[in-house]
Amino acid sequence: MKRVSILLFLIISLTSYAQNEGVVMGAESTNEYFPLIQNKRIAVISNHTGMVGDEHLVDMLVREKHNVTAIFSPEHGFRGDADAGEHVSSSVDEKTGIAIRSLYDGIAGKPSKESMQLFDVLVFDIQDVGLRFYTYYITMVKLMDACAEYNKKMIILDRPNPNGHYVDGPILDMKHKSGVGWLPIPVVHGMTLGELALMTNGEGWLPSSRKCDITVVKCKNYSHQTLYQLPLAPSPNLPNMKSIYLYPSTCLFEGTPVSLGRGTTFPFQVYGHPNMKGYTFTFTPKSIPGAKNPPLLNKLCYGVDLRNVSNEEIFENKFDLSYVIDAYNNLKMGDKFFQPFFEKLVGVDYIRKMIIAGKSADEIKLMWKDDVAKFKKQRTPYLLYHE
């Protein structure tokens, strides 16, 4: 059955790669949103991924004589080069002279009343990768709340989700809500940001069940089985598609003493620690742009190189705890292996406990099977693209 499953996915993948060339971003459908911003004061929330062809959205809007009065920057900054969680200061965009107002203060901040008075309509355009702990959706939801509070319209220029072909992982227990987990969704939610915005409105997830006036400009020629290849790295430590596909599973090392390769040229594609035994692969995290002070800085780490794991195997295993379990068993640290941040990432209490109890990745995965089924049914009314 496993071989049949992989074969079917390969067939779907080949079809999807062929379709990828014709995918049109929401930002490219200017005829759909230009009428909504005509003669309005416009704020743009975007970063380096907000490209319309070979031109940035902000530059295009300015060239088309639209009145862009403010730019908001998310985690990693407007140009996408800051470390994860690094404070990003407000500044001025050198090319256009428009003020850039940082939203990210360590927990994906919400704009001030002064900032909200600078515009009539907010245009959102950021490439996401479809994970509960990837913070751009949190920025979007906080901006939806601000727009709802101040009666501002929000336009979401949708982009494909490179991990949009599956749903996996437990739904967040909201007692673990944090800056890396904001909504009651699985680790891998399989939705675009436009779909997730509609679901946030529809499920009453904004404070006081506020509703944001949103328009989603859809992608064209895209479905959830399209394995869209990102033309730009979405953030400094996701440099290629392999890192993006492994990210749901290897990000869990952020809640342990183990390095996942920050400070190397292959972040999220390896894991290791100075005390791991029996491995010949080594790497040494260094201070580099996008990872100025990585975990285990300048320490020789022994571990596992995942760069040769096939995409098909990654897709088959989905949200995979086997890497964390391997490192846990190797280091023999017991409960000290897990830091409090681990629960913020996985979103539930039982995963730590089951790993300590010696359960396998497959046994633990059965625990969230009902979560996945429940969420897939719950999200159905909000899907904009064929599954």
CA distance 168 to 245: 13
Can you spell out the DSSP letters for 252-315? GGGGSS-B-STTSSSTTSEEEETT--S--EEE----BTTBSS-TTTT--EEEEE-TTS-HHHHH
Q: Locate 298 and state its tokens.
A: 């300048």
pLDDT in tens, 253-275: 999 999 999 999 999 999 999 99
Q: Give the pLDDT score at 12.
A: 41
Instruction: Give the pTM.
Output: 0.91
Q: Locate 10 and state its tokens.
A: 């390969």
CA distance 252 to 338: 10
Q: Give the pLDDT score at 120.
A: 98
Residue ranges per structural domain of the chain: 19-230, 241-356
Q: Give the pLDDT score at 3.
A: 42
CA distance 378 to 376: 6
Q: Give the pLDDT score at 15.
A: 41
CA distance 240 to 12: 21
Shortest CA distance to 121 belongs to which of 98, 100, 102, 147? 147
From its phi and psi, is residue 220 left (phi > 0), alpha (psi between -120 and 50) or beta?
A: beta
Q: Which residue reads 């990828």 in tokens?
A: 20
CA distance 48 to 68: 17
Select the CATH number that applies to the domain covering 19-230 from these four: 3.30.70.1710, 3.30.230.10, 3.30.465.10, 3.40.50.12170: 3.40.50.12170
pLDDT less than 70: residues of the chain: 1-19, 75-77, 79-90, 104-109
Q: Give the pLDDT score at 209.
A: 87
